[in-house]
Chain A
């Protein structure tokens, strides 16, 4: 365990997060965020997505940088492999969400993290997306996340960090629970 608050620094501003929690408890409208992305088809299965603006705390915001993401499929799918596959972006989203959560919870619990490494495996039977077998779903048949964590805490305390991070993770919730998806053409 960390000796005191001052010795634990995971680079997370917990005071700001707790302040936001307090402020947003009484201002539910400001807590309403909207996340956005745009995606433009390039060629074949290659597309380029952009993340720039989002809405929250009652106003529009812009990321400091415009982030772009190439997505494609690998050569075994007869594609050009110009980017990660969309399902790999799902893994990136889940891993980075859980990992950010671990850092935040650790800071709050005054646990110094030395290193945190997640490895993700997700099985998929592509008979689903190829339409070969209607009993096979398109998506993952499961996701396995394995954390290797070096921290100044007991094994159970580290496990509790990882458990709490799942409990509070947006991407974990999106993946484990149904979400209504509306796709329109304008």
Chain B
């Protein structure tokens, strides 16, 4: 058994940012990675995906974008290369192809068992990501057998699918992007939309995420907002990163012929049922978007920026037909695939430490887990609104590594 001060689990951007901060603080550590650096980006993403954040907004401790397209959005190979290079720039002590099989607390800290030998350490940083297991609703079990069920994690490109119609469930970034790509491939898409967050890609000539950054919204802290549990569950923005910087919202999809339908509610007698709440959810999205844009406008005026950016503008309200269908026959051959873009949850099946709440989530205070010496990284709104972004890993890693150092000093 090897002994070390800190084991970081996961060599994605979050684990690497933590590694850099630990090195800066002279904490000896190892980063254990089940596959290669940036493994999820290599193995769990569809082919056409680009990052939703502009290139300049991937700032990591001691690293950032140096190319000539700061406003562009990285493709997957570019993202992998970016994170790979970070690992070598910071000389991260990564041990690849090492699967952690269990983490247990003991008298001197934690025992970390892997398929490549065991470690004893005083502190552990969990940086295995928030998107390990697709969250497919139980109703998927009732889908008639002639229909193919696919999750976004399994999807790579439209050629994988039969030629028939596709029901895409979920209208966040993933669902809207896949709905567009699949519909354009000639397979008619129906999109079942629940609660969703609509934003323009570019607002007043600037990227929406530039606004989130400059106005301080991305920096809002977990201990300063009203309902952190709710904030941690907010779905991802409806966004796509394209060279055209196009806005991808429900209107853009219905304009190309995607059929819009309410939230997937159930299956009865081979018939899918959809909620009658679609109109309200779309109205709510429009109102929330406009409220967000109002705060940007107010900020621009207060900070004397009105002359530097374009004039304020608003998108037309989401168009919803008067009586959207509430049911769909799943046995008449019109739908051949259901694609579940219904979110993800983390996998902690290997974590044998009593830190879970009744919903199976880790109890933590801004990443300081409810068990001394254990830390969490890379989760939605962990410490700040940007925590789950590449751009958010740096501040969280600095805070948490500071805490880790003071914990070790005891």
Contact = CB atoms under 8 A, between A and B. Distances in A.
Given A156-B290, A160-B291, A176-B275, A167 B280 contact: yes
B230 to A, nearest CB: 11
A160 B265 CA distance: 24
B109 interface: no
Interface string A152-186: 00001001100110110000110111100000000
Contacts of A28: 358
Nearest to B273: A178
Contacts of A142: 322-323
Contact of A160 (B266, B287, B358): B287
Nearest to B322: A142
A141 B358 CA distance: 41
Contacts of B288: 160
Contacts of B195: 167
Contact of A166 (B273, B277, B291): B277
Contacts of B291: 156, 160
A172 to B, nearest CB: 7
Query: Which bracket fits the contact residues of A?
Result: 10 to 19
Contact of B276 (A163, A167, A176): A176
Given A28-B358, A177-B265, A178-B266, A159 B283 contact: yes
Interface in B261-304: 262, 265-266, 268, 273, 275-277, 280, 283-284, 287-288, 290-291
Given A141-B323, A142-B323, A177-B275, A163 B265 contact: no
Given A28-B358, A141-B323, A178-B266, A159 B287 contact: yes
A149 to B, nearest CB: 15
Interface of A is mostly: helix
A166 B281 CA distance: 9
Nearest to A140: B276
Interface string B139-171: 000000000000000000000000000000000
Contacts of B266: 177-178
A160 B276 CA distance: 18
A178 B276 CA distance: 10
A13 B287 CA distance: 26
Contact of A178 (B265, B287, B322, B323): B265
B273 A172 contact: no
Interface in A50-101: none
Contacts of B265: 177-178
Nearest to B268: A178
A30 to B, nearest CB: 14
A163 B195 CA distance: 12
Given A156-B287, A160-B291, A177-B275, A166 B268 contact: no
Nearest to A142: B323
A142 B322 CA distance: 10
B142 to A, nearest CB: 12
B400 to A, nearest CB: 26
A141 B280 CA distance: 17
| Most A C-beta atoms less than 10 A away, residue of B265, B275, B277, B358 | B277
Contacts of A163: 280, 283-284, 287
Interface of A: 28, 141-142, 156, 159-160, 163-164, 166-167, 172-173, 175-178
26 contacts: A141-B323, A142-B322, A142-B323, A156-B287, A156-B290, A156-B291, A159-B287, A160-B287, A160-B291, A163-B284, A163-B287, A164-B284, A166-B277, A167-B195, A167-B284, A172-B277, A175-B276, A176-B275, A176-B276, A176-B277, A177-B265, A177-B276, A177-B277, A178-B266, A178-B268, A178-B273
Given A160-B288, A166-B277, A176-B275, 4 more contacts: A159-B283, A160-B291, A173-B277, A177-B266
Nearest 3 CB-CB pairings of A with B = A176-B276, A163-B284, A166-B280
